[in-house]
């Protein structure tokens, strides 16, 4: 249909001729109420923006000679960040002459990555940049959902067992009850 015909038809219906796809051959136009169309488009964009999740990068730094307890503690934080949906930047810093033994930091980074393999996927392998060994991790939704399902199932199984069986399973021994004194007759 020619553009003059389309304009005439739109004005006769008291609507607007709106170009929907200008880059296509031939261009696509619709006869609609432009105010309503614009309102619906803005509403849709607002809804998409609302549903959009912003992924922030959380960074935790390790020293090349970090102790195992500190590694466990920091790895626990990294795990929680991943479960919350954040991107992780794990960094091993070399201070002073530690850079002469990069294998120590590499071993530490491998240990951290091994502990987080059940909730994450590696975005980029560890890279040595100056005096920093850096690796990026992304949360793996499938692994996290599977882990949550497993924990929920384990929690439900514990609820089904009697309390004595739960404490015995946890390695907690039942405290001995004091012997009741016999009444003398």
CATH class of 3-51: alpha beta
Residues of the chain with CATH 3.30.110.10: 57-142
Read off the pTM. Answer: 0.56
Mean pLDDT, residues 69-90 taken together = 90
CATH 3.10.20.80 domain range(s) in the chain: 3-51
Say if CB 87 and CB 137 are below 8 A apart: yes
Report the alpha-carbon distance of residue 147 to residue 158 in Å, rounded.
17
- Find out if CATH 3.90.230.10 is the number for domain 57-142: no
Beta bridge partners of 129: 132
pLDDT per residue as tens digits for the range 132-150: 999 999 988 888 888 888 8
Is it true that the peptide bond before 88 is cis, omega within 30 degrees of 0? no
Residue 25: DSSP 8-state? S
- 13-61 pLDDT, tens per residue? 988 888 888 888 888 888 889 889 899 999 999 998 888 777 788 899 9
Q: Do 135 and 113 contact (CB within 8 A), yes or no?
A: yes
Report d(CA 11, CA 16) in Å as an integer.
Answer: 7
């Amino acid at each position: 249909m020619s553009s003059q015909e389309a304009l005439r038809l739109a004005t006769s219906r008291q609507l607007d001729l709106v170009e929907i796809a200008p880059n296509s051959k031939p261009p696509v136009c619709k006869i609609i109420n432009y105010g309503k169309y614009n309102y619906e488009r803005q509403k849709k964009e607002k809804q998409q923006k609302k549903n959009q999740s912003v992924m922030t990068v959380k960074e935790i730094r390790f020293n090349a000679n970090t102790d195992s307890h500190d590694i466990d503690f920091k790895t626990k934080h990294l795990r929680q960040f991943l479960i919350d949906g954040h991107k992780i930047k794990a960094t091993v810093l070399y201070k002073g002459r530690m850079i002469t033994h990069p294998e120590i930091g590499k071993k530490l980074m491998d240990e951290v990555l091994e502990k987080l393999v059940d909730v994450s996927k590696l975005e980029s392998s560890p890279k040595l940049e100056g005096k920093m060994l850096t690796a990026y991790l992304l949360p793996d939704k499938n692994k996290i959902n599977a882990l949550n399902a497993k924990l929920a199932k384990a929690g439900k199984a514990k609820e089904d067992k009697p309390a004595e069986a739960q404490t015995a399973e946890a390695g907690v021994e039942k405290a001995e009850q004091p012997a009741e004194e016999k009444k003398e007759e």
